[in-house]
Amino acid sequence: MATPKVMGSEIEYGITVRGDSDFDPISGCVLLVNAYREDPTSEILWDYDQENPLADARGFQVDGEKYTPNQQENIARNKTLVNGARYYVDHAHPEYSCPEVTNARDLVVHEKAGERILEVSRREANALLPEGTEMLIYKNNSDRKGNSYGCHENYLMDRRTPFKNIVEALLPFFATRQVYCGAGKVGAENRGAAVDYQISQRSDFFETEVALDTMVKRPIINTRDEPHADRDKYRRLHVIVGDANLSEYTIYLRNGVTALILSLIEDGGIRKNLSLRDPVKSIQEVSHDPSCRRELSLDDGRKLNAVQLQAEYLEMVLAHYSSRSLEPIDKDVLTRWQHVLDCLARDPMELSQQIDWVMKKAMIESFMERRDVDWSSPQVEMLDLQYHDIRPSRGLYYLLERQGRAERIVADEEIATAVHNPPVDTRAYFRGSCIEKYGSAVFGVNWDSISFGVDGQPIKRILMAEPLKGTKRHVDELLGSSPTAGDLVKNLQD
């Protein structure tokens, strides 16, 4: 039986300061992250000792040095929030890593909470900037100068599943899932073939099938082997091939369908060989074809378009779960996945209120018709960017939402709650609750540990190797009986 799919997302946001000709993105990111004062947290270190980014899932350690900032830089670049999330500076981008959740619906809630946190941060940072300048933040994936930044997904898997099986099943899946996960983009980058509009913001930037890199020679399958959990039991699949989405419907499918496919792989339910002859070429061909009709060559000589190939995965999932129980959210994901594939097969524009790339395309085409301009117009390029602006009053996605032209999955009240509250059914609950209750005594945090400095004693590190422990049900009584961090450490040792 498949491992429960604990999941999360890491979003790198685009950042600029309008009116500042000397804008430095790293300094801007540090200002942005530190401007966020909504959480009553003190100076907490991110525990880099618990990380090993050079471990490769293929069974070896890559040569290189692990970057570990000094204490001052660590504090300046990292915030661990009371909702269990990590908010930090990653290279030249602000990044929000949402807390671990157990299902795609909660993932939507907590990823959307990240957007709200970035916007609060942006407003507070702007108050510190010189007059005549304004910080702008975009939830997108490229700067049109040849640089791409990521939306990374993470899924807990059973380590006993051979990595080879994972790669073989996922290469064709990832090459084609963009037909319902893409964020849409005007033009091409990274020496991609010229195109008016494409499905994905990221696809032009993938250059190899399998590798550890995330910034150069990007692979469709990333091999980073850093489980942030019990290494003997779990693998964390680090997915770097997706776009940063704004549509709740798209985010829901992106994570929900992928989790179902990973469970299918673990259960041995992949019954068809869908291997592509050239996955790297295919991922770009799919993105450059908004009609979703272009056929891809399979190793066995067949030719299928991206929607037909996704339908093959859907058929395997339906067959596998025909005699097995599914959680209500998974059933809903399946229903919506099937609906979307049916629409894509008829006419992708039927999804102009659900799927990001279609929503954006419909908006831009309407504008072009009204203004009598074409895809080469600078105004069209600006609309493309403006779709991703996280300002509720200016972002074009949020305009569609206000107009009732974006199908919702969750409620605003749920998102607002998630800004300051962790999910209750993963270890994120213990992490967030400890930061809120014992903030000044928390010394360091990582996904699978939390350390306390108590009464001048040596630092006490509490390991959290099981993502489904530390839940509200598990620890509420413990937290209630521990008024101080010292009490908590003592009670855990007793």
43, 136 contact by CB (below 8 A): no
Flag whether pLDDT at 135 surpasses 70: yes
Whether 439 maps to a domain, the answer reads: no
Query: What value does the mean pLDDT take over residues 173-183?
Result: 98
pLDDT at 265: 98
| Domain count of the fold of the chain | 1
pLDDT at 91: 87
- Of 20, 49, 56, 90, the active-site residue reads 90
3-state secondary structure of 190: coil
Whether 478 maps to a domain, the answer reads: no
pLDDT at 42: 65
- Residue 52: how many other CB atoms lie within 10 Å: 14
Flag whether pLDDT at 484 surpasses 80: yes
**Rounded Cα gap, residues 363 and 387, in angstroms:** 9
- Residue 402: how many other CB atoms lie within 10 Å: 11
Phi and psi at residue 51, in whole multiples of 5°?
-110, 150
What are the DSSP calls for 139-159, one per residue? --SB-SSS-B--EEEEEEEET
Whether 197 maps to a domain, the answer reads: yes
Owning domain of residue 227: 7-41+81-358+383-417
Whether 71 maps to a domain, the answer reads: no
pLDDT at 78: 94
Query: What value does the mean pLDDT take over residues 209-233?
Result: 92
- Any catalytic annotation for residue 90? yes
- Return the CATH number at 235: 3.30.590
Segment 59-85, tens digit of pLDDT: 878 777 677 888 989 988 999 999 999
Whether 259 maps to a domain, the answer reads: yes
Whether 66 maps to a domain, the answer reads: no
Flag whether pLDDT at 131 surpasses 80: yes
**Rounded Cα gap, residues 160 and 242, in angstroms:** 25
Whether 107 maps to a domain, the answer reads: yes
Query: What value does the mean pLDDT take over residues 121-140?
Result: 97
Phi-psi region of 278 (alpha: psi -120 to 50; beta: other; left: phi over 0): beta
Whether 475 maps to a domain, the answer reads: no
Query: What value does the mean pLDDT take over residues 167-176?
Result: 98
